[in-house]
Amino acid sequence: MSMAFGLIVVGDEILSGRRQDKHLTRTIEILAARGHSLAWCEVIGDDRSRITASLKRAFASGDVVFSCGGIGATPDDHTRQCAAAALERPLALHPEAKRLIELRMQEMAAEKGVPWEPEHPDNIHRLNMGVFPQGAQIIPNPYNRIPGFSVGDVHFVPGFPVMAHPMVEWVLDTHYPHLQPEPHVEKAVYVFGGLEAQLTPLMLQVEQQFEGVRIFSLPSVDHPQRGKHIELGVKGAPEQVAVAFEFLQQGLRAVPGLQFSTE
């Protein structure tokens, strides 16, 4: 069994440049370590209508989706409410989340040497971080106990990378160890003296002739070592890629004036 993986990153601070996104690269690495790859990614600001629309698509996609950010309890955190709206479910305080949040508050009080006051307004407000769409399951947070949550195959973690990334790994290792990685390899050549338009017929021919193989073309005009060139290659299952790559090279040899190298 295999499934596609998606990523949603929520936060105005990413789009404004106040923070640099660290989720995309790390999620790709986490998936790759388990033989998987990322199929898509969305970055969304703190806008409830946009977040809700994105989550509706995620819930309907059938993909494994990780949503990073916006699950806190400040006015600019909207993801929990948007998840409930997308699912058309009420929000409810999750009992285990409540226990974990209260345990964290007790630890914080002990660290400061003050008594824990469960009825203090600040502590009551912190329980909002455990208010999830009805029927959600929690995702443990090894950093500070404040959990994330899952509904089906859509998983919600904080925006803090130090918390989010171990939680993503836990979800994959706990809920999806049965997923079979799809065998996947890439082979490419560096083409010199050609244009993409000139190579397009060959690229189309490769994809038409070899089902399941995808071709990629990455032109560069100012590479520090290779100069102007096109990185042209194929990706897919190993046995298909081997044959398609040989076919691609044969096609390149037939184009006058081209030079190419695999290094």
C-beta of residue 18 within 8 angstroms of C-beta of residue 51: no
**pLDDT, tens digit, for every residue of 158-177?**
999 999 999 999 999 999 99
Interacting residues of 86 by C-beta distance below 8 A, sequence separation 6+: 52, 53, 55, 56, 58, 59
Interacting residues of 18 by C-beta distance below 8 A, sequence separation 6+: 12
Q: 23-33 and 161-175 are packed helices; what angle lies between their axes, rounded to 10 degrees?
A: 30
CA 166 to chain centre: 13
Question: For a pLDDT cut of 90, what percent of the chain falls above it?
Answer: 90
CA dihedral 217, 221, 225, 230 (to 10 degrees): 20
**Over the chain, what is the mean pLDDT?**
95
Q: Does 182 score more than 80 pLDDT?
A: no
3-class secondary-structure state, position 41 = strand
The token duo for 163 is 């918390």
Question: For a pLDDT cut of 70, what percent of the chain falls above it?
Answer: 100
Radius of gyration of the chain (CA): 24
Query: Which amino acid, one-letter code, is at 146?
Result: I
Residue 134 φ then ψ, to 5°: -55, 135
3-class secondary-structure state, position 203 = helix
- Nearest-angstrom CA–CA distance, 39 and 4: 6
In the block, residue with structure tokens 């999806």: 176
Query: In terms of pTM, does the model score above 0.85?
Result: yes
Mean pLDDT of all residues in 21-27: 97
For the chain, list the domains and their CATH numbers.
5-175 (3.40.980.10), 185-261 (3.30.70.600)
